[in-house]
Amino acid sequence: MKLTSLIVGSAIGLTPGTPASASLKVSENQRFLTDADGRPFFWLSDTAWELFHRLNREEAERYLEDRRQKGFTVIQAVALAEMDGLRTPNFYGHRPLIDEDPERPDVKEGPENDYWDHVDYIVDLANAKGLRIAFLPTWGDKWHGDNPVFSSPEKASAYGEWLGRRYRDRQLVWVLGGDRTVENDFHRAIIRAMAEGLRRGDEGAHLITFHPRGGQGSAQFFHDEPWLDFNMRQNGHVVEFAAYSKTREDYNRQPVKPVLDGEPAYEGHPIAFQADKLGHTLAADVRRPLYWNLFTGAFGHTYGHHSIWQMASERYDAVNRPLKPWFEALDDPGAAQMQHGRALLESRPFLTRIPDDSILVPDKITSYIPGTGERRFVATRDEAGTYAMVYFPVSFPATVRMEAIRRGPVKAWWFDPRTGGAELIGEFPNTEPRTFTPPTPGELTDWVLVLDEAAQNYGAPGKPPAPQ
């Protein structure tokens, strides 16, 4: 498909949303993130890797406002961008560094005269809309390879300290790495030095994590590092559960740290990078990782679209067959459906949720239930047993242990991941297993079974809880 150009009219003024509140912190049980007052924070992020580099201010407004309206809370973007981010200037003709030296950011007097002024504008615009930036100081090719611009830990430390000072008062999370593997002591020293520089510069104001290569997690390289506040995985651009089961492995690590999938399968992406053999992903392919990750221990989730991460348009060469320009991809269904997963989990006690596949009664044919490949069932529940949820990736009947809810009767619901709607099934005892069949039996359609202790009087799944 030919990518069409974006027609931009007059400048769009900043439209403030709910401002981002104080900096985030790790919850007391080390499993989730909260705001400074201890309120749960749901990380629902979009990968906009080229946001700072390729979009102008009007386009950035359009993008960020769309994501705000769709319930996103975080935007993942890169300062020294992947797509020739050092040499190819941004929309306004500015580059980030002098002579490609990270110790010499190209900063000029005035508010609109350099690359970093544009980054400032976008970060501030996002914060005004209630969005935090998951801020990557650099893509991994700048510290990895034969001739990295981060040629010494001293350069990484100086650049990190400069960034930390500049963005200390913005609402963001630092994300080191950038899709590369830590292969040796030099790589490890660069990442450590940048983390230490950031800490000096922002005086510890923001959390730090690491974005690894596909199929890897930050825990492989840095789990015990004091600067790593939570683990980020890249489970990758595949559609089978086996990749996403790695989230549970990191959840089980000691010492306990929160875990998140920072790059799952993207909507519209060639499946496993094999478009001619496997085709491109659909909305259902990005919904499954949402629930697989959340129900196996993730504290939030990252969405991505193959056209949006690269901000595909006629201005730039396409990377790996995007199917449409970024501004058309905004309306693809998977992005809007992410907010339903957020709403579902926010409608029940949040900081006490744990993964628990024992809720499912395995069939004698285990490839059927709990399933495998694209058809793996997963379950989660409240520690106190006041609610449980089972993700049905396909509309097969499945049997669940009703005693997962400690006190009966049990109110059961079907929750629709495509629309966010909920339908009450009925009330049942919690004394013996019960089989549930989704409303669309035998179809390749996903559902969530929600079980509640009736006495809790929880509202419909996905609806905000009543004020206390």
Task: Look up the pTM and report it.
Answer: 0.94
Q: How far apart are CA 188 and CA 178, in angstroms?
A: 13
Domains of the chain are 25-346 (3.20.20.80), 356-456 (2.60.40)
Sign of the CA dihedral running 164, 165, 168, 172: negative
H/E stretch holding 410 reads strand 410-415
Cα–Cα distances in Å, from 295 out to 51, 319, 391? 30, 32, 8
User: What is residue 7's predicted lDDT score, i.e. its pLDDT?
Assistant: 25
Residues 6 or more apart from 458 whose CB is under 8 A from it? 347, 348, 386, 387, 411, 452, 465
Residue keyed to tokens 């396409």 = 318
The burial class, CB within 10 Å (0-12 / 13-18 / 19+), for 395 is middle
User: What is residue 22's predicted lDDT score, i.e. its pLDDT?
Assistant: 62
Q: Report, as ranges of residue numbers, the positions in the chain whose pLDDT lies below 50.
A: 1-21
User: What is residue 468's predicted lDDT score, i.e. its pLDDT?
Assistant: 57
User: What is residue 111's predicted lDDT score, i.e. its pLDDT?
Assistant: 83
Residue keyed to tokens 């001619």 = 276
Amino acid letter at 457?
N
User: What is residue 92's predicted lDDT score, i.e. its pLDDT?
Assistant: 97
